[in-house]
């Protein structure tokens, strides 16, 4: 087992029709990933659990109606997760060395986040991203507390060093609906996390 550091390039997937803001488009944003990883090896096969602090999120832009005027709108959302991926790997070398392919599920807990937005090219706002199942104010952004999905990728291990590149596919809708006096009044579009990851680990043998 040993430390792992890496880079996330994440985005949001919105499979439904987004009506507000209009002409909305979504792009990726970079983030940081770090934590501990381990490998339990048996010949060509291995189980690779990890515990990571992982930053995800997205950038969006479009147009919204503001005081009877259509104005451009931009937003940058960062989501911070505690993530537990569990990969199952096959390595060409029986000792665990060399090229490897891996895949498996992951589960994440939202720790929080932040956002910045700009309307009309000059009015800037900033706030927090909080975990909730329903939201009742517009000053903050909200996301579901738990996320989960699948990931797969390629890696290479040389002695204690391990490099991996993967793609994670979020399968849980993280959108939060807004309500007022018990009635939902904003139908938020479905939202799923997507991310490419590149990481470097250094594994220290625990065998005596």
Render pLDDT for 29-73 as a digit per residue (tens, 0 to 9): 999 999 999 999 999 999 999 999 999 999 988 776 666 677 788
pTM given for the model: 0.88
* pLDDT for 21 beyond 60: no
What per-residue confidence (pLDDT) applies to 161? Answer: 95
- Residue 186: the pLDDT is 61
Nearest CA among 206, 194, 202, 153 for reference residue 56 = 194
Residue 18: pLDDT band (50, 70, 90) is low
At 78, the pLDDT band (50, 70, 90 cuts) reads very high
Going through 38-132 in order, the beta strands assigned E by DSSP cover 40-42, 45-66, 69-91, 98-119, 123-131
Q: What is the mean pLDDT of residues 22-35?
A: 86
For 132-191, list the strands marked E by DSSP: 134-135, 141-143, 146-158, 161-170, 177-180, 183-186
| Per-chain mean pLDDT for the chain | 88
Is a pLDDT exceeding 70 seen at residue 22? Answer: no
Q: What is the pLDDT of residue 152?
A: 98
User: What was the pLDDT predicted at 72?
Assistant: 80
Q: Is 137 helix (H, G, I), strand (E, B) or coil?
A: coil
Query: Token pair of 52, please?
Result: 């990571």
pLDDT in tens, 82-137: 999 999 999 998 888 999 999 999 999 999 999 998 877 666 788 899 998 888 77
**Hey, which CATH number is domain 2-202, 1.10.20, 2.40.160, 2.10.25, 1.20.120?**
2.40.160
Give the whole-number percent of the chain exceeding pLDDT 70.
87
What is the model's pLDDT at position 138? 67
Phi, psi angle pair for 154, to nearest 5°: -125, 155
């Amino acid at each position: 087992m040993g430390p792992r550091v890496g880079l996330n390039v994440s985005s949001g997937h919105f499979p439904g029709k987004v009506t507000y803001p209009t002409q909305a488009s979504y792009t990726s944003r970079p983030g940081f990933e770090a934590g501990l990883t381990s490998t339990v090896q048996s010949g060509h096969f291995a189980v690779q659990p990890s515990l990571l602090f992982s930053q995800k999120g997205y950038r969006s832009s479009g147009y919204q109606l503001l005081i009877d005027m259509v104005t451009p709108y931009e937003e940058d959302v960062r989501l911070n997760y505690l993530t537990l991926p569990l990969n199952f790997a096959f390595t060409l070398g029986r000792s665990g060395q060399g090229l490897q392919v891996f895949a498996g599920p992951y589960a994440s807990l939202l720790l929080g986040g932040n956002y910045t937005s700009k309307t009309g090219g000059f009015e800037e706002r900033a706030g927090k991203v909080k975990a909730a199942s329903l939201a009742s104010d517009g000053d903050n952004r909200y996301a579901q507390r738990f996320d989960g999905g699948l990931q797969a990728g390629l890696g290479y291990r040389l002695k204690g060093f391990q490099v991996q590149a993967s793609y994670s596919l979020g399968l849980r809708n993280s959108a939060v609906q807004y309500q007022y006096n018990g009635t939902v009044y904003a139908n938020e579009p479905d939202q799923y996390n997507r991310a490419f990851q590149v990481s470097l680990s250094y594994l220290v043998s625990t065998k005596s």
